[in-house]
Amino acid sequence: MNMVLLSMVASPLGVTAQFNFNSIGITLPTRFTHRLEVASQSSRQYHVTGHHTLRYNGALGNPYFANSLGDIIAQEMVNPRVHPHLHFYPEDSGIHLSEARQAERWLHEMDNDALTPVAEMNGQRFFVYELAKLTSGEFCMPVRWFTRHVGEDMQLFAKCWWVVDAAHPYSGETRWVVCKDKDWEVPLSQFMFDWHNLCERFNVADAGVTVPADPQMIYGKFAITLSHGLMPIDIYDLPGFRPQPSDSVEQPLQPWSFSNPKEGNRWQPLSQGHRVHTFPIWMYCNDTSGNVSKRWNEHNSFLFTPSGLPPPPLEMLDGIVDQLESLQRNSVWAWDCVYNAPVLVFPVVLALLGDNPMQGEFASHIGLHGHMFCLSCYVSGKVEGSDEHASGPRASEVGEQSTASQEQEASGIDETRTGLHGPSILGFEESPTERELMNALAAVPAQNSRRKRAVESLQGMVMCLKAFVKPGAWRTKEETTAKLRSYFTDAQAINAKTKTRTAQTESGVKDTFQEHFLDKLFSSYAKVKGKDKKQQSLNTAAVHCLPSVVDWSASANPVWRIKGLDPHCDTPVEVLHVVLLGFVKYFWRDAINNQIGKDDVKHELLKTHLNCFDIDGLGLDGKLSGHTLVQYAGSLMGSDFRTIAQVAPFVLYDLISRPCYAT
């Protein structure tokens, strides 16, 4: 083993050392030699690429490898061609929107803890959740830093909470109370003393003039709006304080939990006086081609991991989330090539990118073919082979409206939060459009026993569309995780398979990662007779098959462990699959298969148009292949449709009908 380590150390120094264990009479187990090969390969790769390769044993039994996310981030920070273009603060750009940092997600929706926690000025470091003093003499608690254009300059601003010093009516001890006020914004230029300075000044003789209370002592926080001013004079929920009738008290005094007042923000000791930046990332996953001999051969791969890995995507995500959680706790040191100084960086996931099926898998959604076919809201549709329609409640729901309403109220679902699709399954009142639709559908001739498809009237079709394209209720992370938790709990009792499958169909929540473990539990007692023996067999399987018999999240989709991310809404539209592989693909197929059809003359003419088309200025790699684009119209890729989108209006002229061309 020492000889192997010596070889790995000597290799980067240009010294080649090879050892043959067989020559000295040592035979190593196959598993051990494999580990040596992996370790040696990882070490060589690190010296070539600058990042380590980590091996994971997936929860579903598949081994896979991932490049170190921390090493990749550190490389980006030290790269002089990348770092100057990186942004670490969100920007309030008003109505202008052209970059991710200007969008609602980064600017308003992400947790304060997930953003860059500090702003620096004149050698002082103003961390969030630390007391600060302003040039006006007021004290505040910054909770979020962002940028905004002021004239021609880009300036840093902080969203702040008010803080007041208050003496306890019995002990007389003076401490700070934080009053949440989401609308108070303060430019960095108006900050005077940071937390460290305030702590030092509190210990000097004139502490009562500069700092009226110890910055390391905080009573707690409460949300209150006072009619007699923004600076409250007393504390709610402490002896001696009684709010006025005109005061609006949202909640009583709560313990301060955002930081340790004695130590300040948690990044204070970790950063050791250096800068701290958040590093938002787009997490992308797709089933990409991993074969050079064919145009397509499915391999799942994640950003920051080697391409062409065979394990299922959610199993691979498990290892990546482990890295994310570790880096968000401990961060990674990097060299800042702009400031020529060390910098502490931690990653956050801004959004999950992928096509519709992949995003549905991220959100633990049953898929586009399910009754509840939308990963973002509770719209329902017609199930294949049934009489259920997209609008209006199912027959089983008619008698359950009151029960569903009670469940909705108990779960805290906000009815004012609406999505883009149709009626929810949560018991909302039936709209006039739905009643009209049901009447229209009732007028359609009933299907006979052979289930021939009924002829739908134009009026019924229009009403279907109107009922579909209307506000509905959003799915939320809390609702989905509660449903997955119930699957986990139910599966540990016998004969729960039918109940679980029905719940998955009714809610549209189905986790492919969790399914692996549920199937093992359901099959563990399938051939066992007797209730007690079945339960015993199930209990044994739960101990051996489940990562944890108590923690449901250990056997669920790893995406739910990503802090501050909701896969139902943080999955933006992706241009490749929505545009190029969406309507561009279907327009082209319609033109080839239906508009031109079997007309061989037009087929050859279209190929000639494509072959002779001048591609100068279109940014294409080479001449177009008319035969490929026409003959294999059903098997093209995104790059092909990108080309087609640019040339189709010209090459299809006079080859398809006028209405189709106008479309």
Alpha-carbon distance of 504 to 490, in angstroms, equals 12
Higher-confidence residue of 188 and 68: namely: 188
Give the 3-state secondary structure of 178-195.
EEEEEEEEEEHHHEEECH
* Spatial distance between the Cα atoms of 481 and 483, rounded to a whole number of angstroms: 5
Q: Mean per-residue pLDDT for 384-398?
A: 40
d(CA 488, CA 550) in angstroms, rounded, equals 9
Distance separating alpha carbons of residues 261 and 259, to the nearest angstrom:
6
The answer to whether residues 157 and 185 touch, using CB atoms and an 8 Å cutoff, is yes
Q: What is the pLDDT of residues 337-378, one digit of tens each?
A: 888 999 999 888 888 877 777 888 889 999 877 888 888 888
Backbone angles phi, psi at 174, to 5 degrees: -95, 130
Cα Rg for the chain, rounded, in angstroms? 31
- The one-letter amino acid code at 187 reads P
Q: What is the tens place of the pLDDT at every residue in 578-589?
A: 777 778 888 898
Position 300 scores a pLDDT of 62
Nearest alpha carbon to residue 278 among 157, 118, 403, 168: 118
Which of 145-149, 311-315, 449-453, 606-610 shows the lowest mean pLDDT across its residues?
A: 449-453
Helix (H) or strand (E) holding 127: strand 124-127
Q: Which helix (H) or strand (E) holds 519?
A: helix 512-524
Per-residue confidence band for 303, with pLDDT thresholds at 50, 70 and 90: low
Task: Please compute the mean of the pLDDT values over residues 309-313 and round it to a whole number.
Answer: 50
- C-alpha span between 200 and 202 (Å, rounded): 5
pLDDT digits (tens, 9 = 90+) for 465-524: 776 677 678 999 999 999 999 999 999 999 999 999 999 999 999 998 899 899 999 999
Record the pTM. Answer: 0.60
Return the minimum-mean-pLDDT range out of 291-300, 378-387, 510-519, 598-607.
Answer: 291-300
Q: How confident is the model at residue 266 (pLDDT cuts 50, 70, 90)?
A: very high
